[in-house]
Amino acid sequence: RSDAVEPVAVRTSGTDFYVVNLMPFSVKTLLRFSGSGRQVTAPVGRTPLPLKNNVLELTLAAYELRVFRAEHPIESVVSEIPSEELRKFHAQIGAIRGALPNVDRNLRGKVELLLARLEADLKARKFWSYRTELELAAPLWKAAGILPPFYWNDGWPVTPQGAIPAEDLKACTETP
């Protein structure tokens, strides 16, 4: 799903789907379903969750993974990060831009290119990509003498390679 890649990824298999928050903070996500279903169920325990106007609203904790079963397919996914986190990202961009005049001429071009990618990621709401670019640039920040605010290396964000297909998750969650 192109609308469910980041900051929350959604993968589907038939009526089963999973939702995973790729960020180190909570994210609010709205999943709109086609059809007129009234609920989705969590396969473990078969706990029903009500839909409001065909929408399931979730607040996912940092890196949280949730698995569900729905009567109808997902029509759209919209995710919102906390405004404080977005403010931090913009403060980082501002600090990098402000430090540019003091960056060694030999590094300035690299910093400007990276800054342009970071700004594009934020504009496109690709928050996981933004954070990954920022973290992977640690050697450049160090060489350029830039320490963006709210920046600490809390581990490299890693793409969930080989994301578990929903059908495999289903097999793990079914009770005999």
Residue 159 has pLDDT above 50, yes or no: no
Contacts of 27 (CB under 8 A, 6+ apart): 7, 8, 21, 59, 60, 79, 80, 81, 82
For the purposes of burial, counting CB atoms within 10 Å of the CB of 19, is it exposed (0-12), middle (13-18) or buried (19 or more)? buried
Condensed to tens digits (0 to 9), the pLDDT of residues 67-96 reads: 998 888 899 999 999 999 999 999 999 999
What's the pLDDT at 116?
A: 98
The band of 166, judged by pLDDT with boundaries at 50, 70 and 90, is: low
Residue 15 has pLDDT above 80, yes or no: yes
Q: Which residues face 21 on adjacent strands?
A: 8
Q: Please state the pTM of the whole predicted model.
A: 0.78
Give 170 or 64, the one with higher predicted confidence.
64
Length of the chain: 176
Q: How far is CA 89 from CA 78, 125, 128, 163, in A?
A: 19, 11, 11, 27
